[in-house]
Chains A and B, each alone.
Chain A
């Protein structure tokens, strides 16, 4: 089935999200739509799926114009969508979720799931999804939940499948699995619209690439285009995808971690006797698939974990047992894994978020009286220094894009006297331009002689930034390898394979 968009335009107030977009997706192709956050990709797809009404433009399915006012119209036309945030009921089973909205009653009004169960099995077998219709959603890994969403679309006869940033929430393994699934779907005749800003994935699966910038189609590319070409089309200027890393003298150890064990509330160890050190002017990357204990190690660096044994010595001082506040003030800059949950307070202003840590210190406060004027003027300085794109520092933080939010976190954490930077998944969900900024900033800290620990699940990021790489697997450090290691070798280590 082919899908064509002609002259789709949509404005939100003064912002033109989509400006006369033309797009054609052929039967059985994977068509990538590449663009930075805020370029208008999601708006365009929400229009196709009937979630947003366009100001003007036409949607043609198999060259026949269709009016799509609601998702049910889209589904009836054979268009299915898997959202970035899954629309699943956690306490329902796979089958119950899929049947939702299309329930059939059996004897005496009993919910009849036999049909849908059989169809899930059939689809799952056909594409090697490995999904059991009777599993509870809440017990499934994110990658499998996503497959449930795909099955739902397929069962309701989607011939064109829209995947909105599908890999944003996946681990590298799950991403590889998804890319395989996409190819398999394509081979069996499904068209896929793949919304993303990740160049490697685009090059791996796309047949054609349309690049959108500021609401307009700025170009088409074939998958043979280099990552640099794609990135500069997307951002609108040349981009340094792999940051320049200067050779740099490495100093003495700033941080020494010995026999660090972290337990969960039941006493089960999540991290087991981990040892490492980080030297001044060095980036130590702690790599690993999500959920192997890295998050806990990162949080333990500022005493956010409660059941911790062992020792963490920063610049000659044991810091285990300090309050979070005192840990930070010992000279640790901490970029938490989730900026939305742990890094920022959505309803507070940008200026206030910039001083969450130092709000009770001069110059922001004298005694308990705060100085709003200083808070604002300092925020203006951070805005310039960290190139935070904002309208007013008094706007709520929720008005910013992901990249700018992360800049606020960095600006806050690096505005204290810092000996060590602990950055946990610092570029997760960011676009190319912002990633470039964050990477550069991390290397700047290294070059300024600070110790940097980078926790990351992204292979490319680890390889680009690290001086040494520690790989975590099931709560232990499997190996610490030098920066020159190959991506393949690192991937194997992350999967827990140690070879002699």
Chain B
């Protein structure tokens, strides 16, 4: 009897990302120690040095935890649940990242390197924001229309890349990098127009979206956690279904793994390239919507932050698998949320978070380092994922 699964899930696939993270935390710890002036005072005395370093690292990582998941000192006598406030912040920053990460992961699987999640994210934010502040629509409908507008805007911006690649052979990496600039400067120009300028302000910031266009909050007004995280998880399930259970995803994977064989078997490669980039763009655009309608509410030139670029990292960390991308984004969301607390509570600068993020990626891309450190022999290495999109 054949089993019902086409792809056997593997716990071993988690080994490399987990060990890479551990190793990155270790090197992060070294950096914390060597950048802490109290620790450095003991540099002449090995035992005292290690002790001081241990304390500094412990405090920093504790603050990171308290800033991202649970902080008992936030609890009040009336509301002990407030200690979970940091977790809400983690979810808020993870949701848009999951969506942008899914955009990159999906394109990866079809053999395309979508560096343009940032631009697609920006277009999604613009569309969601404009619908959100300009139109007056009933509660419920308003937020739905705003989201749909963002999805369409992202899909068009991403689909354009696929169309250019399919029709002219233009490399998607170059095109998306350029389109990121176009999107950013288009946003900055828009913010100077009367349609987008907030009344009474002269600096480039748009009006807040109307309350009817905001994503519903999940846990009351004390927390910023909103429906966005569920939208993101639903999108991840959708991408999983698309890739492993739908004819479209079958084609995406076929073209991604061997374009010539897919073409020979009658799969239309131009159509796959255009459609996968459109869906990818739609996901990133949805990320923009979740960000603007869920937590930022207004547009500025920095609206997209680093979401579109971190998206590449989380997709890589998540092995271009939908659920992997979700977990990687939650991790990055936590690092981002906790970094501020760590900087405020200890003398460790927030930049250490960026170092840890960068190291995780470095180790994933160079699995032999991880294998060597942990003396692993049979670890499956899929470092090729990082470089794959470039030769297309």
- Whether B267 lies near A370 (C-beta < 8 A) is no
B→A interface (CB under 8 Å): 2-8, 245-248, 250-251, 253-254, 257-258, 260-268
19 example contacts (A-B, Cβ-Cβ < 8 A) are as follows: A304-B264, A326-B266, A327-B266, A329-B266, A334-B264, A336-B264, A342-B264, A345-B261, A346-B258, A348-B253, A352-B250, A356-B254, A356-B261, A356-B262, A357-B265, A365-B247, A376-B2, A376-B6, A379-B2
- Whether B260 lies near A356 (C-beta < 8 A) is no
- Whether A345 lies near B258 (C-beta < 8 A) is yes
A110 to B156, CA, bound (A): 55
A394 to B267, CA, bound (A): 22
Q: Give every chain A residue within 8 A of B253 (Cβ-Cβ).
A: 348
Contact of B264 among A329, A343, A394 (CB under 8 A): A343
Q: Give every chain A residue within 8 A of B6 (Cβ-Cβ).
A: 349, 351-352, 372, 375-376, 394
Q: Give every chain A residue within 8 A of B265 (Cβ-Cβ).
A: 324, 328, 356-357, 412
A298 to B246, CA, bound (A): 32
- Whether A380 lies near B2 (C-beta < 8 A) is yes
Contact of B261 among A326, A341, A360, A394 (CB under 8 A): A341
Within 8 A of B (CB), among A231-276: none
- Whether B266 lies near A357 (C-beta < 8 A) is yes
- Whether A368 lies near B261 (C-beta < 8 A) is no
- Whether B245 lies near A325 (C-beta < 8 A) is no
- Whether A346 lies near B257 (C-beta < 8 A) is yes
A325 to B260, CA, bound (A): 13
Q: Give every chain B residue within 8 A of A412 (Cβ-Cβ).
A: 265
A325 to B7, CA, bound (A): 26
Known contacts A325-B268, A342-B264; A372 and B5 CB within 8 A of each other: yes
Q: Give every chain B residue within 8 A of A352 (Cβ-Cβ).
A: 6, 250, 254
Number of chain A residues close to chain B: CB under 8 A: 40
- Whether B263 lies near A324 (C-beta < 8 A) is yes
Residue A323 at the B interface, CB < 8 A? yes
Tell me the nearest residue of chain A to B3, going by C-beta: A376
- Whether B264 lies near A373 (C-beta < 8 A) is no
Q: Give every chain A residue within 8 A of B250 (Cβ-Cβ).
A: 352, 359-360, 370
Q: Give every chain A residue within 8 A of B245 (Cβ-Cβ).
A: 369-370, 372
Contact of B247 among A346, A351, A360 (CB under 8 A): A360
A177-193 CB mask vs B (1 if < 8 Å, else 0) is 00000000000000000
A356 to B263, CA, bound (A): 10
| Residue among B257, B263, B265 with the highest chain A CB neighbour number at 10 A | B265
A323 to B253, CA, bound (A): 20
Q: Give every chain B residue within 8 A of A346 (Cβ-Cβ).
A: 257-258
A→B interface (CB under 8 Å): 302, 304, 323-329, 334, 336, 341-349, 351-352, 356-357, 359-360, 365, 368-370, 372-373, 375-377, 379-380, 393-394, 412
Tell me the nearest residue of chain A to B2, going by C-beta: A376
Known contacts A346-B258, A347-B257; A368 and B263 CB within 8 A of each other: no
Q: Give every chain A residue within 8 A of B264 (Cβ-Cβ).
A: 302, 304, 324, 334, 336, 342-343
Q: Which 7 A-B pairs have the closest CB atoms?
A: A325-B266, A376-B2, A356-B265, A360-B247, A345-B258, A342-B264, A372-B6
Tell me the nearest residue of chain B to A328, going by C-beta: B266
- Whether A323 lies near B266 (C-beta < 8 A) is yes
How many Å from the CB of B391 to the closest CB on chain A? 15
| Extra inter-chain contacts (15) besides given A325-B267, A347-B258, CB under 8 Å | A304-B264, A324-B265, A329-B266, A334-B264, A341-B258, A341-B260, A352-B250, A352-B254, A356-B262, A356-B265, A356-B266, A356-B267, A357-B266, A359-B250, A369-B245
- Whether A359 lies near B4 (C-beta < 8 A) is no
- Whether B266 lies near A345 (C-beta < 8 A) is no
Contact of B2 among A329, A368, A393 (CB under 8 A): A393
- Whether A373 lies near B268 (C-beta < 8 A) is no
Known contacts A345-B258, A346-B258, A394-B6; A304 and B246 CB within 8 A of each other: no
Tell me the nearest residue of chain A to B249, going by C-beta: A370
A393 to B1, CA, bound (A): 12
A368 to B3, CA, bound (A): 21
Q: Give every chain B residue within 8 A of A393 (Cβ-Cβ).
A: 2
Q: Give every chain B residue within 8 A of A379 (Cβ-Cβ).
A: 2
- Whether A343 lies near B251 (C-beta < 8 A) is no
Q: Give every chain A residue within 8 A of B2 (Cβ-Cβ).
A: 373, 376-377, 379-380, 393
Tell me the nearest residue of chain A to B264, going by C-beta: A342
Q: Give every chain A residue within 8 A of B266 (Cβ-Cβ).
A: 323-329, 356-357
- Whether A345 lies near B254 (C-beta < 8 A) is yes
A4 to B189, CA, bound (A): 79
Q: Give every chain A residue within 8 A of B260 (Cβ-Cβ).
A: 341-342
Contact of B248 among A304, A368, A372, A377 (CB under 8 A): A368
Q: Give every chain B residue within 8 A of A351 (Cβ-Cβ).
A: 6
Q: Give every chain B residue within 8 A of A348 (Cβ-Cβ).
A: 253-254, 257
How many Å from the CB of A485 to the closest CB on chain B? 32
How many Å from the CB of A432 to the closest CB on chain B? 26
- Whether B262 lies near A394 (C-beta < 8 A) is no
Tell me the nearest residue of chain B to A341, going by C-beta: B260
Tell me the nearest residue of chain B to A348, going by C-beta: B257
Tell me the nearest residue of chain A to B247, going by C-beta: A360
Tell me the nearest residue of chain B to A329, going by C-beta: B266
Tell me the nearest residue of chain A to B245, going by C-beta: A370
Known contacts A325-B267, A356-B254, A377-B2; A343 and B261 CB within 8 A of each other: yes
A38 to B245, CA, bound (A): 35
Q: Give every chain B residue within 8 A of A380 (Cβ-Cβ).
A: 2
How many Å from the CB of B106 to the closest CB on chain A? 15
Q: Give every chain B residue within 8 A of A344 (Cβ-Cβ).
A: 258, 261
- Whether B246 lies near A369 (C-beta < 8 A) is yes
Tell me the nearest residue of chain B to A379, going by C-beta: B2
A345 to B111, CA, bound (A): 13
Q: Give every chain B residue within 8 A of A342 (Cβ-Cβ).
A: 260-261, 264
A414 to B53, CA, bound (A): 69
A433 to B6, CA, bound (A): 31
How many Å from the CB of A386 to the closest CB on chain B? 17
Q: Give every chain A residue within 8 A of B247 (Cβ-Cβ).
A: 359-360, 365, 368-370
Tell me the nearest residue of chain B to A374, going by C-beta: B2
Known contacts A323-B268, A325-B267, A348-B253; A373 and B261 CB within 8 A of each other: no
Q: Give every chain A residue within 8 A of B258 (Cβ-Cβ).
A: 341, 344-347
A326 to B268, CA, bound (A): 11
Q: Give every chain B residue within 8 A of A394 (Cβ-Cβ).
A: 3, 5-6, 8
Contact of B246 among A343, A370, A373, A375 (CB under 8 A): A370
How many Å from the CB of B4 to the closest CB on chain A? 6
A19 to B345, CA, bound (A): 67
Q: Give every chain B residue within 8 A of A347 (Cβ-Cβ).
A: 257-258
Contact of B4 among A336, A349, A373 (CB under 8 A): A373
A372 to B250, CA, bound (A): 11
Q: Give every chain B residue within 8 A of A357 (Cβ-Cβ).
A: 265-266
Q: Give every chain A residue within 8 A of B246 (Cβ-Cβ).
A: 368-370
How many Å from the CB of B271 to the closest CB on chain A? 10
Q: Give every chain A residue within 8 A of B3 (Cβ-Cβ).
A: 376, 394
